[in-house]
Amino acid sequence: MTRSVLLAFSALVLLFVYAPLALVVLNSFNTSRTFEWPPPGFTTKWWSAAVDSEGARNAIVVSLEVALVATVIALVLGTMAALALQRFRFFGRDTVSLLIILPIALPGVVTGIALANAFLTMFGIELGMLTLVVSHATFCIVTVFNNAIARLRRLGGNLEEASMDLGAGTFRTFWSVTLPMMRSALLAGALLSFALSFDEIIVTTFTAGQGIQTLPIWIYQNLFRPNQAPVVNVVAAALIVLSIVPIWLSQKLAGTDESVAAAR
């Protein structure tokens, strides 16, 4: 009895989440420009239109670039911050930890305005690719940092001591022991960071400047133009399909990851 209720409830929730997404995919083949329901017919012309759309293509490239660079910056800085905070006890350690995590909790509007003001007035930098990437990195660091520090806490310092005891110096220990033990955590952090940056719209609006159009901004600007709506829908459908891949990948990685279980 409880079982069937649970099943029905789960099905309802899943339907609620995934039906609209399915609709997006379905509508990308809808012949009607205004997404008539039920669809009067099916076509692939929107897909070819989307492939030919220069605006969409450029926006995707820009978004990929921004997400990639921001993620790399986040990986380096986030890992280093986690190592430092895990390893050393110093005055203000907890405060620093809080300050690193804070950007993800702050409203994007606040972060966006603050960063744009700082760039323009304090540093005198034109808004552009640089400011955009740096802004994204501020919240991308959080996901990497959180994943990295959680892993480090679980590992403890024992394996590193064992490595040094066997003759390995600090760097050798980092490459041979610390980094491999953190790999899956860093990958998970990086995937999340990439996803965060890829669909970010608020901070981007304030810090990207005029010339740069990321995919979310392009979608937002074209969504209400009747001519572009079907193409936007195709891009959305493509993104749904594409997002499944990294998620599936990270799930698979988490499943085969021995390092966490072994560290216990």
The least distance separating other proteins from the CB of residue 180, rounded to whole angstroms, comes to 5
For the chain, the DSSP string reads: -HHHHHHHHHHHHHHHHHHHHHHHHHHTTBS-TT--SS-S-B-SHHHHHHHH-HHHHHHHHHHHHHHHHHHHHHHHHHHHHHHHHHH---TTHHHHHHHHHGGGTS-HHHHHHHHHHIIIIII-PPSSHHHHHHHHHHHHHHHHHHHHHHHHHHH-SHHHHHHHHTT--HHHHIIIIIHHHHHHHHHHHHHHHHHHHHT--HHHHHHS-SS---HHHHHHHHTT-TTTHHHHHHHHHHHHHHHHHHHHHHHHHHHH--HHHHH-
Among 95, 158, 210, 256, binds other proteins (CB under 8 A): 158
Residue 259: CB minimum distance to other proteins, A: 5
* Closer residue to other proteins, CB minimum distance, 20 or 167: 167
Interface with other proteins includes 255 (CB under 8 A)? no
User: Does 162 engage in binding with other proteins (CB under 8 A)?
Assistant: yes
Min dist. Cβ of residue 152 to other proteins (A):
15
CB of 239 to other proteins, least distance (A): 34
Q: Which of residues 174-193 bind other proteins (CB under 8 A)?
A: 176-177, 180-181
Least Å distance, CB 79 to other proteins, is 17
Number of neighbours of residue 119 by Cβ within 10 angstroms: 22
Find the part of the chain contacting other proteins (CB under 8 A) among 101-109, 114-122, 160-168, 221-229: 160-168
Distance CA 189, CA 197 (A): 12
| Residue 8 found at the interface with other proteins (CB under 8 A) | no
Site for other proteins contains 254 (CB under 8 A): no
Residue closer to other proteins (CB basis): 43 or 86: 86
Nearest to 213 by CA among 53, 72, 21, 24: 53
Out of 26, 101, 120, 164, the only residue in the binding site for other proteins (CB under 8 A) is 164
Examine residue 120 and tell whether it contacts other proteins (CB under 8 A): no
Closest distance of CB 166 from other proteins, Å: 4
Candidate residues 172, 175, 223, 249; the one interacting with other proteins per rule CB under 8 A = 172
Among 96, 120, 168, 238, binds other proteins (CB under 8 A): 168
Task: List interacting residues with other proteins (CB under 8 A).
Answer: 158-159, 161-169, 172, 176-177, 180-181, 258-259, 261-263
